[in-house]
Structure 1
Amino acid sequence: MGVRTQGRGEDAHSVLRQPRLVPLHALAAGVDFERYFRWRRAREGDPFVVRFPGFGSGLFTGTPEGAREMFRAPVESLEPPRPNPVEPLVGDASLILTSGQRHRRDRALLAPAFHGARIREYAQLIRESTVHEMSGGSNGSAWTPGTRIDARAAARAITLRVILEAVFGVDSRERRAEYTAVVAEFLDAYTGPLMLVPTLRRGLFDRLPWDRFVRARDRLDALILADIARRTTHSEPRTGDILGLLLTARYEDGGTMPESDLCDQLRTLLVAGHETTATSLVWALFHLHREPESLAALRAELRTAGSTATAAELARLPYLDAVCQETLRLHPTVPIVVRRLTEPFTFRGIELAAGDTIGLAVPLLHSAPQTWTHPQRFQPDRFADRRYTPFEYAPFGGGHRRCVGAGLADYELRIALATILSLVQLRLTPRFARGRAPLSVPHNIATGPRRAITFEVA
C-alpha cells in the first residue's frame, strides 16, 4: 500500500508531502480519527497523504468530486489493499476483500439474500429481538424505571440476536447463548494493536494475543461449519434464512460456493451484520436525547402511527428515516473507503501508478461545506429538505463495492430505534447529557464510542 506519484506539475510534491514521525500521526489518528483527518486537510488541502504503520501510505480525499472519481472508476482498476486491517476477522474469501471476477461471482450469489422483499421479512424479528432485550433478554434486567442501561451492550444483544436468526436460523436459547459467548470472545480478542500493527500477528507458544485470537476464531468457525454440515446432510435444508439460501444458490456454471469460502462469508455477515448496526443505534439514541426538539418530533410521529402500526410500517416513517440518515452522516458505518490501483489512474488530478492506494475519508465527505450547513450539528431536517447524491452521502461506501448488507442494516436501525422509543422513556446519565460527544474510535470492523454510553429509564 503506497503512493508513488509523478505529480501534477511542480506543486504535486507539496500537496503530496509524506508525513514524518509516522508513529505520532498514527497515535493522533487512533485517539481522534475524525479530528486528525480534518487537521490534515486543513493543513495540507485535499487530497493529502496518510501513512499507516505496517500498511504503507494512501492518497485521501474528502470531497464529492473525489468520491465521484473513486466510485466511478473502472471496476477492473481497483481492488482492496492487502494487508488489510480486517483480514483476520473476515478471511481471505470474504466479499470485503475479494476482487475481479471472483468478487462479481460471489456478490451475485450473496445479493439475493439482501433484496428488499426478503429484508422486509425480518421486520417482526427485529421488533421481537428489541422487545426481548428490553424485557431483560441479555442480562435478566428489564428496562423498568430507574434501571441503568449500557446502550452498547444492549444494542449488540439486539442486533446479534437478529443476525443469528436471519443468517443461521438460530432460534433456540442454548444455541444462541453458545454463539453469543463465542462471538464476544472472538471480537474482544481482536484488539486495536492486532488490527493496526500486522507485525503483531504472530504466535509464540500459544501465549501471545495473536494466539488467543486464533483460538477464538477457530471456535467460531467450528460453530459455523457445524451448522453448514447439519444443513447439507439434511434432506430438505431450510431456505428461510441466509445460510439456507446460500446452500441452494448456484454460480452461473452450476457450481456451489466451497465450504471454506462459505465459512468466511458467514463470519463476515455475523461480525459486520451486528457490530455496525449496534453502533449506529447507540449513536441515534445519544443524539436524540441531546436534541429535545428532534426527540419530540420523532415521538410525535410514532404516536401518530399508533400502537397498532406494524414494524414494516414504522420503518417507512419519514422523520424516522431522516433521523437514521443523519445519524449515519455523523457516524458512517464505513468511515474509510480504501482501494489499491491495479493500473495507472489519475485521481484528483494526480497521476498514480499501479500499486498505489487511494482513499475516501467519509466523515470529511459528510461534512463538506459545499454540501452541508452546520455539518457538526445533529439536524435530521436536512434530509427532509433534499435528497443527496451517492457522491455526497455514502455511509455504506459506494460504487460496485457498496456494502451488500446496507439495506438490512438500515432497516434494522429504523425498527429497533422506533421500538425502543415507542415503549420507554430514556434519559442520558449526567456524564453524557452535556459536554462533548464521546470520541469515535476503531473497534473491530467498525468505529464506535470510546466508552459505553449509558441511559436511565425514566
Structure 2
Amino acid sequence: MATETAAPASRRLFPLHALAAGLDFERYFRWRRAREGDPFYVRFPGFGAVLFTGTPAGARELFRAPADLLEPPRPNPIEPLVGPASLILTSGLRHRRDRTLLAPAFHGARIRAYGELIRAATLDEIEGGTSSWSPANTAPWRPAHTAPWRPAHTAPWRPGTRIDSRAAARSITLRVILEAVFGVRARERRAAYTAAITEFLTAFSGPLLLVPALRRGAFGRAPWDRFVAARDHLDRLLQADIAERKSTARQDDSDILGLLLSTRYDDGSAPADAELGDQLRTLLVAGHETTATSLVWALYHLHRTPEALRSLRAELREAGDSPADLAGLPYLDAVCQETLRLHPPVPIVLRRVTEPVVLRGVRTTAGDTMGLALPLLHSDPDTWDGAARFRPERFLDRRYGPFEFAPYGGGHRRCVGASLADYELRIVLATLLGRVRLALPPRYARGRTPLSVPHNIATGPHRSIPFDVIE
C-alpha cells in the first residue's frame, strides 16, 4: 500500500535549498537522504518538486515503470540547447519512432569503424591541435556588443608543457563527433563548427540553465540574446550541411548524417529538416561534452591513485596499439567504469508521470516528476564497499546490474549513444597514456577533489584541471 513522505521543502526555505544544491550538488543530495530517508523531494527553480530515489530498488521501479506512463519533464532546462524535437525530449510513439531511426548509427560494427578516427584525433591533439579559442576581430553573425572568437593552436605536448585538460578533452571529442556525424575532415570546416559550438555552449550559462525567467531578450544585449544568436548561427551550419548532402544525392552512409538521410520511417516518410537539425544538434552537444568530462575525471583519478595508474600502464604495455586491441582490455574497462560510477556525466534521471505511479511506497499523481540521483545510487553502501574511493578493481571482482550501475540512465530511455561514449573514452584514454606521461600540480595531486557543477548538458569539475607533461 502506498504511503506518504515528507512534502517538498517550503517555499520560504526554497532559495536556501537551491543555493546549497548549486554549490555542492552531491553533498546536498546526501544530506537530504540522511535527513529524510529515501525517497525525498527536491524543488528546482521554475520546475517544481521532484521525488528522488537513490537506491537499487528505486532504480528498478523507475526504469521498469510502463513506458507509456512516462515522459520527459517540461519545461525542460536543456530544451533551448537541444530543441523540442530532440530524442531526449520526445515521448511515446514519437520517441520510439525517432529512436528506431537513430539506433543503427550506434551499432557495434559502426562504432568500431570509428576507432582509427578516435585515435587520430587524440594523436593530433598531442601534436598541437586546435583546442582553445580566443578573441578575434570579425564574426558577422555575432551581436556587436560581444567579442568574436578565433581558433588558437595549442603547443605540442612536450615535457614542461602545462595542459588545460578540459580544453584538450573537448577538442578531441568534438573532432570525433564532427567526423562521425558529418564526415567533416577539412580543417576550415571543422574550425567553423568548433567556433560555433564553443560559442553556443559558452553562451548557455548556468543562470540560463537553472533560472528560466532569465530567458528574455533585451534589445539584443541580454545573455539570452547572445545565446539565441549563437544557436541560430550553429543551426545555419547544420541546415547548410543537410541541404548540401541532399542536393548532391550522395548515397554515403559512412557518417551519421548520411545514414539519417538514407533511412525512412515505417510509413516511408523522412524526418523534416528542422527535426533532423534538432537531432544533429543533440548529437553534437551531448556527444562530445559528456565524454570530454569523463576523460578529465579519469585522468584526474588515475594520477591521484598511483597503483591504479601503474596497473593500467602495465596492461597497455602488453597490448597492441590498434583500437581493436585496446577496446577489450579488462583493467582499462574497469578504470572507465569506475570513473563513470564516481562521476556520471548526467547525474540525475527525470521522468514525468502521465498517470499515478508508486515510487518507493510514495504515490505520485499525473503530472508529478520522479527522479533517480545517480551519485546516491553509485555510492549505495549495500552495493559499493568504500564507495568514496577510486578502486577500479571492484569492476573486476564482480558484475553490477543495471539497477546498481546506470551511468547512462536505463529503461527505454537509456542514452542511445552510450556505446560510442564508452568506446571513445577507452581509446582516447589508452592513446594518451601510451604516448605521454603526465603529473598533477601539487594543489590537485593532494587537495580536495574539485566540486562537480553543471556545464550545459553535463556536469564536470567547477574549473579545469591542469596537467604537466613530464615525459
TM-score, normalising length: structure 1:
0.96
Matched, 1:372 2:384: yes
Cα deviation, residue 103, structure 1: 0.2
| 2:190 aligned partner, one-letter code | R
- CA contact 1:368–1:375 (8 Å) conserved in 2: yes
3-state SS of 1:188 partner: helix
Residues 290-321 of structure 1, C-alpha deviations (whole Å, 9 max, x = no match): 00000000000000114xx3112101100000
Cα deviation, residue 346, structure 1: 1.0
- CA contact 2:18–2:45 (8 Å) conserved in 1: yes
The runs of 5 or more residues in structure 2 that have no matched partner are 131-152
Q: 1:140 aligns with which of 143, 154, 160?
A: 154
Name the residue aligned to 1:186. 200
Cα deviation, residue 8, structure 1: 4.1
| 1:167 aligned partner, one-letter code | V
Q: 1:273 aligns with which of 278, 287, 312?
A: 287
Name the residue aligned to 2:93. 101
| 2:329 aligned partner, one-letter code | L
Cα deviation, residue 186, structure 1: 0.1
| 1:337 aligned partner, one-letter code | V
3-state SS of 1:420 partner: helix
Name the residue aligned to 2:16. 24
Q: 2:414 aligns with which of 379, 402, 420?
A: 402
Alignment identity in percent?
A: 71
Residues 377-422 of structure 1, C-alpha deviations (whole Å, 9 max, x = no match): 0000000000000000000000000000000000000000000000
3-state SS of 1:58 partner: strand
Cα distance in 2, alignment partners of residues 90 and 169 from structure 1: 21
Cα deviation, residue 18, structure 1: 2.9
Q: 2:447 aligns with which of 415, 432, 435?
A: 435
| 1:67 aligned partner, one-letter code | A
Name the residue aligned to 1:3. none
Residues 54-453 of structure 1 correspond to what in structure 2 (within 5 A)?
54-138=46-130, 139-306=153-320, 309-453=321-465
Cα deviation, residue 53, structure 1: 1.2
The runs of 5 or more residues in structure 1 that have no matched partner are 1-6
Cα distance in 2, alignment partners of residues 384 and 63 from structure 1: 22
* RMSD of equivalent CA atoms: 1.0
Cα deviation, residue 202, structure 1: 1.0
3-state SS of 2:386 partner: coil
Residues 178-232 of structure 1, C-alpha deviations (whole Å, 9 max, x = no match): 0001100000000001000111111121111101000000000000000000000
Q: Which moved more, 1:153-162 or 1:310-319?
A: 310-319
Cα deviation, residue 17, structure 1: 4.7
| 2:79 aligned partner, one-letter code | E
- CA contact 1:77–1:342 (8 Å) conserved in 2: yes
- CA contact 1:231–1:238 (8 Å) conserved in 2: no
- CA contact 1:19–1:51 (8 Å) conserved in 2: no
TM-score, normalising length: structure 2:
0.94
- CA contact 1:324–1:413 (8 Å) conserved in 2: yes
| 2:349 aligned partner, one-letter code | V
Cα distance in 2, alignment partners of residues 457 and 415 from structure 1: 20
- CA contact 2:335–2:392 (8 Å) conserved in 1: yes
Cα distance in 2, alignment partners of residues 174 and 133 from structure 1: 16
Cα distance change, pair 285–192 in 1 and its aligned pair in 2 (3 A):
same
Cα distance in 1, alignment partners of residues 173 and 370 from structure 2: 32
Cα distance in 1, alignment partners of residues 308 and 349 from structure 2: 30
3-state SS of 1:49 partner: strand
Name the residue aligned to 1:44. 36
